[in-house]
Structure 1
Amino acid sequence: MWFKNLHIFRFLHPVTTSAEDLHEQLTKAIFQPCGKMDMESMGWVPPLGRDSESLVHAANKCIIFSARKEEKILPPSVVREFVNDKVEEIETQQMRRVRKREKDEIREEVLHDLVPRAFTRSTYLFAYIDITHGWLLVDTPSRKKAEELVTFLRTTIGSLPVVPPQIQQSPARIMTQWLIKENDCPIDLDLADACVLTDQEGAVVNCKRQDLLAEEIQGHLDAGKLVTRLALEWNDRLGLILDDELVIRRLHLLDLIQAQLNDANTETPAQRFDAEFAIMTGELASLIKRLFEVFGGENEEAYAKMR
Structure 2
Amino acid sequence: MWFRNARVFRFTKPFEITAEALEEKLQEDAFKPCGPQETSRQGWVSPMGKHSDLLVHSAGGYHLIALRKEEKLLPASVIKELVDEKAEMIEAEQHRKVRRKEKDELKEEVTLEMLPRAFSKNRRCYAYLAPADGVLIVDAGSSKQAEDLASTLRKSLGSLPVRPPAVEQAPAFTFTGWLNESIDLPASIELGTECELKDTSEDGGVVRCKGLDLQGDEIRSHLDAGMQVTKLSVTWDDNLSFVLDEELGIRRLKFGDTLQEKLDDVDADDAAARFDAAFSLMTLELARLIPGLLEALGGEDRSAIVEEG
TM-score, reference length from structure 1: 0.95
1:92 is aligned with what amino acid? A
Deviations 1:142-170 (A, max 9, x none): 11111111111111111111111011111
> In 2, are the aligned partners of 1:166 and 1:303 still within 8 Å (CA)?
no
2:298 to 292, 296, 299: 296
> In 2, are the aligned partners of 1:55 and 1:66 still within 8 Å (CA)?
yes
Q: Which residue matches 1:274?
A: 276
Distance 1:183 1:296 in 2: 10
Distance 1:77 1:122 in 2: 21
Q: Which runs of 5+ in 1 are unaligned?
A: none
Distance 1:192 1:78 in 2: 45
Q: Which residue matches 1:11?
A: 11
SS of equivalent residue, structure 2 residue 298: coil
SS of equivalent residue, structure 1 residue 123: strand
> In 2, are the aligned partners of 1:166 and 1:302 still within 8 Å (CA)?
no
Q: Which residue matches 1:192?
A: 192
Q: Which residue matches 2:253?
A: 251
Distance 1:19 1:116 in 2: 37
Alignment of 1:55-94 (within 5 A): 55-94=55-94
Greater shift, 290-299 or 277-286, is seen at 290-299
> In 2, are the aligned partners of 1:42 and 1:69 still within 8 Å (CA)?
yes
Distance 1:17 1:205 in 2: 44
1:44 is aligned with what amino acid? W
Greater shift, 159-168 or 89-98, is seen at 89-98
Distance 1:177 1:28 in 2: 48
SS of equivalent residue, structure 1 residue 144: helix
Q: Are residues 265 and 108 of structure 1, via their aligned partners in 2, closer, same or farther at CA, if it must alter by over 3 Å?
A: closer
> In 2, are the aligned partners of 1:5 and 1:250 still within 8 Å (CA)?
yes
Q: Once the 2 structures are TM-superposed, how far is the Cα of residue 182 of structure 1 from its aligned partner? A: 5.9
1:125 is aligned with what amino acid? C
TM-score, reference length from structure 2: 0.95
1:230 to 232, 239, 249: 232
Q: Which runs of 5+ in 2 are unaligned?
A: none
SS of equivalent residue, structure 2 residue 261: helix
Distance 2:304 2:126 in 1: 28
Deviations 1:221-241 (A, max 9, x none): 011111110100011100000
The answer to whether residue 104 in structure 2 is matched with residue 121 in structure 1 is no
Distance 2:170 2:116 in 1: 49
Distance 2:39 2:50 in 1: 24
CA RMSD of the aligned region, Å?
1.4
> In 2, are the aligned partners of 1:236 and 1:255 still within 8 Å (CA)?
no
Q: Are residues 303 and 14 of structure 1, via their aligned partners in 2, closer, same or farther at CA, if it must alter by over 3 Å?
A: closer
> In 2, are the aligned partners of 1:39 and 1:71 still within 8 Å (CA)?
yes
Q: Which residue matches 2:173?
A: 173
Distance 1:264 1:170 in 2: 42
The answer to whether residue 285 in structure 2 is matched with residue 283 in structure 1 is yes
SS of equivalent residue, structure 1 residue 66: strand
Deviations 1:250-283 (A, max 9, x none): 0001222222222345641110011111110010
Alignment of 1:32-111 (within 5 A): 32-111=32-111
Distance 2:118 2:242 in 1: 38
Distance 2:248 2:41 in 1: 30
1:117 is aligned with what amino acid? R
Distance 2:132 2:304 in 1: 21
